[in-house]
Chains A and B, each alone.
Chain A
Amino acid sequence: MDLQSYMPVPPGIRMEENFFSLDDILLSHERLPCRTESAFPRLGFLEKSSETRDIPEGTKMEMPLWLAKGLYERKRQVLSVELPKVYREEWRTVFGADPIVVDLHKMGPYYYGLGSQMLHFDSPENPEIANTILQTFIGRFRRTMDSSQNAYNEDTSALVERLDCLERSLFRAGQSGLNGFQLWEKGRSSHLTASSLVINYRKRKIADLQA
């Protein structure tokens, strides 16, 4: 196994977002349907379709998660956030019936991450949402784990294309362990190799020269 010296910040657990996690930053750009519960004077530029200077109370608009989180307040009526389709009752029943067949990558690549963040907005359906996310994960985990531990030296794109980002990182971790084990079995775990950073850098330099 390669020396793991570049360790990027992982995404946050549960309802937390890690400040320096690339996954969490990208997740926070997902757009949510919202409704303003108060007027936003002079902020008309936030809503691209409107021509007005102000945003009146009761406007329905889309906002990225980071802005919605920044504006939302439990005690004050500033913003109400609607649940995206995937977390509503109809889809929750689908997940309950058979979580394995759903294409979670298409349903928003951050199904678990966004679902956890939605819990910040105090929807009355929060317990059901949280439970569905959990049960979906449990239902799908076995297959992800099995496939990551048995796909050795082959094209895995068909296996990962219906997985969301969290599941993909689990899959990668499983593959990494499998490859390390295989190397050990072949007696190559003491084989010294060039650092992957060096190899990538060299590839990039050649690409620059060719450009």
Chain B
Amino acid sequence: MKDTDIKRLLYAHLLCIFSIILSIFIPSFFLENFSILETHLTWLCICSVFVTAVNLILYLVVKSNVSSKRSSLSYKVTRFLKCCIYLLMSCFSFHVIFVLYGAPLIELVLETFLLAVILSTFTTVPCLCLLGPNFKAWLRVFSRNGVTSIWENSLQITTISSFIGTWLGAFPIPLDWGRPWQVFKVFGFHMSSILTFQMAIERKHNICRSLCVCTRHCCTNSRILTTTVQGRFHSHFYT
């Protein structure tokens, strides 16, 4: 049971990483002058959509047997609506937290909000998929000894490492090196991946899984998120 779960988990994360990679390359076929560096906001949107889609597919494929107990249409619709509301709420609350963290209130609203959206897709969407719109269950998973299955454990680790990755992404902001690659600082990547790795090992879980978890989350997050934060900072300091 556990082995099959771990295998599934591995595939799920691999799929997520694959979707992120796809989101880099596919849009260039459809959109003109698309590049990660210049049109990073577009890319953020696309990436977020891709990740959400993959999460939904995974939910439908992998976990469908669990939640098929009640299958009346109205129940499903309300559940879906609830999920949407939760997602929106989480976006707004992340936005508020970013503003409290020091992001400007009025300028660069779009960038900040996109940061909130992308963070939500990495944290809230998996939560919604796995736990449903059940706030109590969320609270339980994110407290000590609250984890009951390996899926929840993975959820816990990925979500927390997403937050840490975002947090670390803020550190290169003040640096004044002015290099073009600084738009996408991979600075936070190494540290957060190491952190995640250790956390996973501490929990005595499959190394393979932890590896893919950390690469997926830290890589994408710290890269994407710093972009927006960076833009924010520059406007703050140099305008």
Q: Tell me whether A and B are bound partners.
A: no
